[in-house]
Amino acid sequence: MGKLYLEKNVYDATIERLQKVFSEDVAVYFCFSGGKDSSVMLQLANRVAQEKNRTFDVLFIDLEGNYTYTIDHINELKLLSQIDTFYWVCLPLVLRNAVSQLSTHWFCWNKRQKDLWIRDMPDDCVNEDNYLTKYGWDWFQKGMQFETFIMAFAEWYQKKHQKEVMCGVGIRSNESFNRFRTIVSLRKTKWHNMQWTTLLKTEENLPIYNFYPIYDWQTRDIWIAVAKFDLKYNELYELFYKAGVSIHEARICQPYGDDQRKGLDQFKAIEPDTWSKVLLRTGGANFGNIYAKSLALAHMKLKKPLELTWQQYTVYLLESIGMRNMTLMVHYARKIKRFVRWYEQKGVAIPDYAPRYLETQKRAPSWRRCAKMILKNDYYGRGLSFAQTKRDDMELKQMLEEDGDYNYGRCD
């Protein structure tokens, strides 16, 4: 049947969505990263808000390991006319570290490592010394994870404004299947039955919604809008393009994530001074620079030594981790033990491997899935169908405390 299109372009559709939001009596803020998508979203929102004589707030979570170009771009967008409060957050959050199999997470803006910070902290930011006096964030705890902070901020924002909250998020559905599912889900609760919105939570009988103004845009649409409407943009993308990085692959947020690590090798070429600080700050950074696009970090087809079975290889990986990080080894071993026991109770013996499509869909157990969990630094064991638990978070905190916040500078 092919694709069906409405009789309007994505730009006009986005302006209509923003007009709808700013026409209602709701509190509005936007999550901003300094990347191309959130940058275009923010500038279009500013234009519509100006027409509607409305203001909005912005939440920017500074993850310390940013390019200088990104910080420059954020500073220029802070000056948009309709922004009321720009929450520049530099708090010690626990972040994913997908480039090390010994240090699965790291602390940004950790005062214990101030002498190794990648950048100086901005003067006007929300930080560990002023978050209580500046905004009364008694809900914040050092070592919160990014996702937990996002939810807690939304709840605080709703209580502050005492009205419905609309949080603008600059995701596009063609970037990943999970993002596509977020948009098209028929089970979710929507704002005014608008498919481009999702109920996040209800606080004090007042709902908090995410809305996605540019969800149907493609990468080329972003750059067309930048050129056609003379929008400001992060000049880092020009350097990426000159270095041979596709416009579809360029990522600018914290470089140690599962997707972002694929561009880690560009960091040293684009900002060598910043890169030298990254090497000291985060365990496994240079390992990710060299091997993030290789089998070493399970980026491509998963392989093992020919003389070992997948079960033996899993045990070998556990023992290798245990030589440097016993707590992490025990954590993974417990996940695997529960995984195996669950199937054994159903009378199913864990095979060495199963058809790949069944493993991918998590419909068949195998020791290969166990090995993959370790190789992909899957700390919470989502590849084995586990979810994040309080016990996992407690063990993570214990590792951070025992290992000096992950022995920065270690070459894994």
What's the Cα-to-Cα distance from 21 to each of 17, 36, 119, 155, 356, rounded to whole Å?
6, 22, 36, 19, 44
What's the Cα-to-Cα distance from 202 to each of 18, 111, 210, 213, 295, rounded to whole Å?
22, 35, 12, 21, 44
Amino acid occupying residue 212: Y
Mean pLDDT taken over the chain: 84
- Tokens 């979203």 label which residue? 41
pTM of the model: 0.76
| Predicted local confidence at residue 262, as pLDDT | 60
50, burial (CB in 10 Å: exposed 0-12, middle 13-18, buried 19+): middle
Name, in order, each residue with C-beta under 8 angstroms of 32's C-beta and a sequence gap of 6 or more: 38, 39, 42, 58, 59, 60, 74, 77, 170
CB 23 within 8 A of CB 52: yes
CA-nearest of 410, 409, 405 to 142 is 405
Q: What pLDDT digit, counting tens, does each position of 349-373 carry?
A: 999 999 988 988 889 999 999 999 8
CB 63 within 8 A of CB 202: no
More confident residue, 67 or 40: 40
- The pLDDT of 291-310, averaged and rounded, is 70
More confident residue, 55 or 236: 55
| Predicted local confidence at residue 407, as pLDDT | 41
CB 373 within 8 A of CB 384: yes
Rg from Cα positions in the chain = 22
Spatial distance between the Cα atoms of 349 and 352, rounded to a whole number of angstroms:
10
- The pLDDT of 109-126, averaged and rounded, is 87
Q: In the structure, what pLDDT confidence band is assigned to residue 301 with cuts at 50, 70 and 90?
A: low
CA-nearest of 97, 99, 105, 95 to 399 is 105
| Predicted local confidence at residue 412, as pLDDT | 38
Q: In the structure, what pLDDT confidence band is assigned to residue 399 with cuts at 50, 70 and 90?
A: confident
Spatial distance between the Cα atoms of 200 and 188, rounded to a whole number of angstroms:
10
More confident residue, 106 or 299: 106
Structure tokens at 144: 């919160």
Give Cα 199 distance to the centre of its chain.
20
Spatial distance between the Cα atoms of 293 and 276, rounded to a whole number of angstroms:
21
Q: What pLDDT digit, counting tens, does each position of 230-289 carry?
A: 999 998 888 877 767 677 766 676 666 555 556 666 666 677 777 777 776 766 665 655
